[in-house]
Structure 1
Amino acid sequence: MAKNQARRTHRQRMICAAAVSATTVLSSGFAHAQAVASSTEPQVGQSLEEVMVTARRREESAQSVPIAVTALGAAELENHRVESLENLQTVVPALSVSAASGRPNAPVYSLRGIRPTEALYGQDPTVAVYFADVVISPAEGTNLGMYDLASLQVLKGPQGTLFGRNTTGGAVLLTPKRPGREFGGDVKIGFGNYGRNETQLGLDMPFADSFAMRLSGRTIDSDGYQTNVAPGPMNGAKLGGESTRSARVSAVWDVTDNVENYTIVSWDSKDTNGRGTVLQAINPATTLRCYDGPTNPNGPCGANEALPSYFDALERARGRDRNDVESDMRQRDETEVWGIVNTTTVSLSDTLTLKSIAGYRDFETYSEYDIDASAIPGILTSMQTATLQHASYELQLLGSAFDNRFDWVTGLYWYNEDGVQNSPGDVLVGVNPNNPFMQLGAVDNSSYSFFAQGIYRLTPELSLTAGVRWNYDEKEMTLSSKTPAACSLRDPNTGALLPADRCSVTLSDSFSQPTGTLSLDYKVRDDVLLYAASRLGYRSGGFNLRATTPVEYAPFDPETVIDLELGIKADWFVGDWRMRSNVAAYNQWYDDIQRTVGVTNPIGVPGSAIQNAAKANVFGIEVEQTIAPTDNLSLQLNYAYTKPEYDDWVDPFTGDDLTDTPFHFTPEHAAAASLTYTVPMQGAGELRFSASASYRSHVWINSLQTIQAIRRTPASVLPFMQQDAYTLLDLSAGWTGVMGSSFDISAYVKNVADKEYSLGGIQLYESARPDIRPFGIVTKAYGEPRTYGVELRYNF
């Protein structure tokens, strides 16, 4: 009780700190406003660029939206070389992207500390990615649309009203470039180290005043930066490379003066040779000690049994350089996606608009990866094939009333996904030849919702926003899991193993939840906005794709996040220096958290159960500061402070208190800085120089490790389960309009210091229960080393 009282006291202090921070924010806002009022009124064109966003399903200035949103235009995306959402976290500190194993096409996203344990069919994401207002699901393949974009927006905090898939963490919106009304375009070629070469095309083709098309595409080829140094046939094989092919055709047709039809058809294919993981530690009590001999998995090896050669090979692979990896198998991660989006907009009157948004996406992936990170066959390997088709339809009605004092939107939304995820693999085949397994989950999920939101201007300066959404989700999953000898599934009622000819279990359930938003914003003046906002976000319940026993079949319920956010958005001046200060302080009440809890069966095979295990509080402060001393020099500083803490979490098997478990992949401090300087060349083009740095403080890097397992882990091994604080530095330079021509040339270096940092890993050093022999390995997956290259673009 003393501990819980201490936690409540700490939570109260956090909320008080939020209030104090908000008071400071508001006070600084008035100080900024006074500074603006007392300064010389700026001339037209002196203010900072106005960034347009669609966070409230209308196009409006980012500085007028009462929520925290980071928006990047096409030029910023290119200057920072944001070619994947993994790159985006170096610009947006509140965002974290991780990868648990050697699958670069399967990232896991986190915003403000809200993160799923892992990405599996049957578990909705906490951060949804949208392309042209249509959700991309699952997380695999979300990087494929990261080219030819007009803008990218990161909406922070729960999204519970206006966007199709309710999320507890946030949303990322990708907006592709629309067809231009004049013929023209650009073509780019690039070359870099590790055999990288790339091309990109964007072409606008107007065929009539009322009809235009845009053709865009991209190719990327690279050899890879990792080398397999294991003895045997795989020696010398490269990992970390890719072969990407993408094409996109979009068309805008003005059917009448009041009807516009906008269609996008896209195809993307990305084949990688995997990302090799590096073995970090081996538990002396590991089951692998007995890998080649008879053993009782619940007891010690034979008294006179020496360490087998396999264990020696593990020792050899342990702690290698991040670019020298060992594996007994070819590794790859291949994804192919095609999709179509159609948006039809009908202006019914000057104050009423009807919008239809339809989307369809067909996704296929195949992967092979060596989880044990060694040259020994049959320890722990996995393959995965997956197919998924998802369709969505949204009907919106947008309007204005009361002399444009009231803007509103209402609509209906439907979503369906239907697919199969098959994960065959090998587990300790030296101990048990029957351990090669097949694990399959087929999903058929539907979501329905109704939503409405209104913005009412109580006065010219004061506005109230209120929205509500009703959500209903139907989830169905069919499981099948077997070895060559028998079915691995147990009967949901009796617990007995199912016969091999009836090796499937079908689970179904439904979930519903009302969600919404409420905010109040006040314009101190046109360029200073104060706001307070609260939202309720929901992540649907579902089923565990890895379930094989009755306790694992049980559905997990939805999780929810309620937040309170206070903030300011201000444009102001210090002398001639232009400033933009966006500050947000928030607290999130995180309830019924879905957590994957690691379990181990009697033969040592890792397993998992998903439960609504915990509740927590997350407090944070975010600052985005732009400083522009001149038209040619600008500095962008972004900072995110995130402090999550579990309030309640008890191990259902042992009754142990797990509230001291760290929030994995959540740095307490994260920051990004970017300095850009341009030099006009008086008719010979413009030079641009840019330097950017990103910092992330210490994190724990595997979400399956509770405080139980961490406390049983030797102190010498704990560093391998964490990532120390690190800083990445990127440099770039470019010459636009070389000597007044249509050519642009640029060069870049990413990760200048060749910093070693991990994006995730597999931590199985300890088993879920101390009475069962652990699998006993720890691996890390590392980010890219130093890369550099040059690019040439021709504009026409």
Structure 2
Amino acid sequence: PIAVSVLDSGKLSAISEGGADILSLAGRVPSLYVESSNGRYAPRLYIRGLGNVDFDFNASQPVSVVLDDVVLENVSLKSFPLFDVESVEVLKGPQGTLFGRNTPAGVVKMDTRRPDQDAGGQAQFTLGEMGTIRGEVGLTIPATDTLSFRVAGLVNHRNNWVDNGYEETTFNRPGHDLGGFDDIAGRIHAQWQPDDRLSVLLTLQARDYRGTGTLNRANVLTTGSNKLNERYDRDRVYYDGGRNNPQAQHTKSQALHVDYDLGAATLTGIVSAYQGGSSGRGDIDGGVLGTTPGSGTIPFPSETGTLSSDLDQQTYEVRLASNGNSRFGWQLGAFYWHESFELISASWNGTGGLDPTVISTLNQKSDSWSVFGQVRYDVTDSLRLTGGARWTRDERDLVAERTLGRYFIDTRSVSDDQPSWDVSALYRVSPQVSLFGRIARGYRGPSIQGRIASSDILTTADSETIISYEIGIKAATPDNRFRADLTAYTYRIDDPQFTAIGGQGNFNQLINARRGIGRGVEFEASANPLRGLMLTGGVSYNFTRISDPDMLVAFCGAACTVRDPIVDVGTTRRAAINGNPFPQAPRWLMNLTASYTHELAGGSKLYAQTDWVAQSDFNIFLYDATEFHVGTNFEGGARLGWRSPSDGVDVFAFARNITNESNVIGAIDFNNLTAFVNDPRVIGGGVAFQF
């Protein structure tokens, strides 16, 4: 009795074949949006408009990502690449009475393929423009009657394809300088099932990523317009700093999942540990100091990055859930999460100098304890009632120290405990039609932020709480050829946490608004109207609004057109954002896929498929400015192929971003009208095997 959307492995494979990462999930199901200003290693996820635009690694996120029943809390962990995945489920609205951490926005739950007793596997290899190569393989190996393995791996590569047009640098190379990446990841599942009651799954993972960070493009927006201007050149940037924007990340993890059937109930225990580190550097202003034809006017340079980061996450979860199909069912559980995180940041002289001019260190430790439970009761064969609750205790401690530059040190500690709960009803009108309703309360613990490389300010945000209401209908025809889900929701957040980013000082500060509201409608449908023809699609309308007459934020340091009321505060000017939508919250999200398969005389098949996604109307920042309001973005892909009679071999040609759209997905606002865009078109071909 909740709004759930699912992406199967086929759709995931199609949208990833041109080298895409988790950002490609944006809009693929209603109300889900994903973006990043940190390249391929720090995605930010939003559900029903709720997310966090904070680009620092210690930021708190209201959307939880769960990979194989393990919570990936830190934003850097959420970039772990998708490969050998069975499905992705998006559970919308406050969650927390079933598993993992509580979350006010929802959960993106990813499940990889696990081993069984049948040997076999899948593999896919693609080659495309700009030297794009993607290889993915997953193989199940039964070792004994009780022990089996699943070994999976990914290689994702792209050559540098963007030229740094500013030649007067010590780090400029002949030819292309930026845009490439190498992403290598592997996973081993080992499953032991000595009898029908006990199942033990050990999972080991690792990732090594090296590539180019986000390509900020200076002054590609013009005052009074949100359209890319003539200065924009997809294949060229003009950087005097950043040393070609390198970034790197490595991650490894270990997890143990044990299920034991006690007869009346099953006991589940999950223990996991993640370790990771990263580094990166970028020309943040996106151009060349002074006034040049390539990047316009840059009044002062900005060159920042991460010297190193060190992350350690541990989770412990235990659940006891009833078995059987009786009218009454229940589950009880407890969860503990710990994170230790060190981030060493730096600023340079703005023109590519080797030695930093400022170094700052953040050390943050976070702990969360919770107990949760849920019960369900089938009042009749048609009516099911469900209720659940969770109690959570959150604690965070931060030490911030600037060790190079003007010395500074400060500390902050925050803590809180709150309940979360939900009640819902599911009514089966018929075997093909169900109605549901749900009321839920969610909670996100207090947060700390300290971007002390450019300020002496540590900020905190109090806990936010959300109350959500939703109703919906799920329907299908008796033959399942047509299916449709329709959901309507509304929610209210008290003390919503926002991040005020940018302004002339390039600050990053946490704030609590008095209240936020959201409401919307989500629709998904699939149809098989003709033999061989399959259509799926979805659309969501998500309205959000900040409600706080006293909320003021800094706005752009460049010549942008602020449409909010301007208030003088001492010697500074601020934008009054009461009534604005949440940032990075598209009003409309739409997706459509279509595939047609024609069977040949020998049993082999020709097929064609296409997929499209669109986002419309959102503000990049908390304030409303003409230049930083995104209208409509869309992107499409296509595949043509041949499959063997047993579907064991698939040979295909593909195109991603087939119309080569240049879509603004984010901006930097502190000293010029800088923007960054989506990936370019990639045309290529590939082959896939099942064996």
TM-score, with structure 1 as normaliser: 0.77
The 5 A counterparts of 1:78-477 are 78-81=13-16, 83-100=20-37, 103-233=39-169, 234=172, 236-280=175-219, 319-328=231-240, 329-349=243-263, 351-376=264-289, 379-384=301-306, 385-400=308-323, 404-426=326-348, 436-477=357-398
Structure 2 runs not aligned, ≥5 long: 224-228, 291-299, 554-568
More strand per residue = 2
Q: Secondary structure at the match of 1:86?
A: helix
Shift of 1:679: 1.6
User: What residue is the counterpart of 1:734 in the other structure?
Assistant: 641
User: What residue is the counterpart of 1:536 in the other structure?
Assistant: 441
Shift of 1:321: 1.3
The 5 A counterparts of 1:641-656 are 641-651=541-551, 654=569
Which of 629, 637, 652 is equivalent to 2:529?
629
User: What residue is the counterpart of 2:614 in the other structure?
Assistant: 695
Shift of 1:422: 1.6
Which structure is larger by alpha-carbon Rg, 1 or 2?
A: 1
User: What residue is the counterpart of 1:685 in the other structure?
Assistant: 604
Q: Secondary structure at the match of 2:659?
A: coil
Shifted more, 635-644 versus 227-236: the winner is 227-236
Shift of 1:76: 2.7
User: What residue is the counterpart of 2:664 in the other structure?
Assistant: 758
Q: Per-residue CA shift, 1:200-255, capped at 9, x if unaligned?
A: 22111101111100111111221134222112342544322211111111011013
Separation (CA, whole Å) in 1 of partners of 2:370 and 2:349 = 42
Structure 1 stretches (4+) deviating beyond 6 angstroms? 281-284, 427-430, 548-551
Separation (CA, whole Å) in 1 of partners of 2:452 and 2:648 = 59
Shift of 1:663: 2.3
1:67 paired to 2:2: yes
Q: Per-residue CA shift, 1:725-765, capped at 9, x if unaligned?
A: 1321211122222x66843212210111111102211112x
User: What residue is the counterpart of 2:559 in the other structure?
Assistant: none
Which of 658, 662, 668 is equivalent to 2:587?
668
What letter corresponds to residue 359 of structure 1 in structure 2? S
Shift of 1:71: 1.0
Q: Calculate the aligned-residue CA RMSD, in Å.
A: 2.7
Shift of 1:612: 1.2
Distance change in 2, residues 1:436/1:625 (3 Å): same
More helix per residue = 1
Which of 667, 670, 673 is equivalent to 1:778?
673
Distance change in 2, residues 1:335/1:459 (3 Å): same
Distance change in 2, residues 1:427/1:140 (3 Å): same
Q: Per-residue CA shift, 1:599-623, capped at 9, x if unaligned?
A: 87xxx64323312123111110000
What letter corresponds to residue 631 of structure 2 in structure 1? D
Separation (CA, whole Å) in 2 of partners of 1:428 and 1:196 = 31
User: What residue is the counterpart of 2:557 in the other structure?
Assistant: none
Is this contact kept in 2: 1:278–1:319, CA < 8 A?
A: no
Is this contact kept in 2: 1:594–1:614, CA < 8 A?
A: no
Shift of 1:270: 1.4
Distance change in 2, residues 1:557/1:106 (3 Å): same
Q: How many percent of aligned residue pairs carry the same amino acid? A: 25
Separation (CA, whole Å) in 2 of partners of 1:279 and 1:550 = 23
Is this contact kept in 2: 1:429–1:435, CA < 8 A?
A: no
Separation (CA, whole Å) in 2 of partners of 1:392 and 1:618 = 32
Separation (CA, whole Å) in 1 of partners of 2:23 and 2:617 = 18
User: What residue is the counterpart of 1:706 in the other structure?
Assistant: 623
Size of the aligned set, in residue pairs, is: 649
Shift of 1:353: 0.6
Separation (CA, whole Å) in 2 of partners of 1:782 and 1:372 = 15
Separation (CA, whole Å) in 1 of partners of 2:156 and 2:277 = 19
Which of 514, 521, 529 is equivalent to 1:614?
514
Distance change in 2, residues 1:330/1:181 (3 Å): same
Shift of 1:383: 1.4
Separation (CA, whole Å) in 1 of partners of 2:201 and 2:258 = 6
Q: Secondary structure at the match of 2:188?
A: strand
Q: Per-residue CA shift, 1:151-207, capped at 9, x if unaligned?
A: 111111121322322222111111010113122223332210001122222111101
Separation (CA, whole Å) in 2 of partners of 1:762 and 1:389 = 30
What letter corresponds to residue 448 of structure 1 in structure 2? W
TM-score, with structure 2 as normaliser: 0.89
Separation (CA, whole Å) in 1 of partners of 2:459 and 2:212 = 37
Distance change in 2, residues 1:437/1:527 (3 Å): same
Separation (CA, whole Å) in 1 of partners of 2:429 and 2:608 = 36
Q: Per-residue CA shift, 1:775-795, capped at 9, x if unaligned?
A: x21211110111121111233
Q: Secondary structure at the match of 1:699?
A: strand
Separation (CA, whole Å) in 2 of partners of 1:614 and 1:783 = 34
What letter corresponds to residue 356 of structure 1 in structure 2? G
Q: Per-residue CA shift, 1:653-679, capped at 9, x if unaligned?
A: 849742133322222122111111112
Shift of 1:517: 0.8
Separation (CA, whole Å) in 1 of partners of 2:189 and 2:231 = 49
Shift of 1:94: 1.1
Separation (CA, whole Å) in 1 of partners of 2:356 and 2:137 = 49
Shifted more, 191-200 versus 653-662: the winner is 653-662
What letter corresponds to residue 78 of structure 2 in structure 1? T
User: What residue is the counterpart of 2:562 in the other structure?
Assistant: none
Q: Secondary structure at the match of 2:51?
A: coil
Separation (CA, whole Å) in 2 of partners of 1:752 and 1:428 = 37
Is this contact kept in 1: 2:58–2:74, CA < 8 A?
A: no
Shift of 1:552: 4.0
Distance change in 2, residues 1:699/1:549 (3 Å): closer
Shift of 1:90: 4.0
Distance change in 2, residues 1:348/1:649 (3 Å): farther
Separation (CA, whole Å) in 1 of partners of 2:398 and 2:134 = 41
Is this contact kept in 2: 1:238–1:273, CA < 8 A?
A: no
Shift of 1:339: 0.5
Structure 1 runs not aligned, ≥5 long: 1-65, 285-316, 490-503, 711-717, 765-775
What letter corresponds to residue 397 of structure 1 in structure 2? L
1:743 paired to 2:631: no
Separation (CA, whole Å) in 2 of partners of 1:427 and 1:594 = 33
What letter corresponds to residue 605 of structure 2 in structure 1? E
Shift of 1:343: 0.6
Shift of 1:706: 2.3
Separation (CA, whole Å) in 2 of partners of 1:156 and 1:698 = 21
Q: Secondary structure at the match of 1:78?
A: helix
Shift of 1:134: 0.3
Separation (CA, whole Å) in 1 of partners of 2:664 and 2:234 = 9
User: What residue is the counterpart of 2:402 in the other structure?
Assistant: 481
User: What residue is the counterpart of 2:294 in the other structure?
Assistant: none
1:578 paired to 2:496: no
Shift of 1:75: 2.2
Is this contact kept in 1: 2:346–2:453, CA < 8 A?
A: no
What letter corresponds to residue 468 of structure 1 in structure 2? A
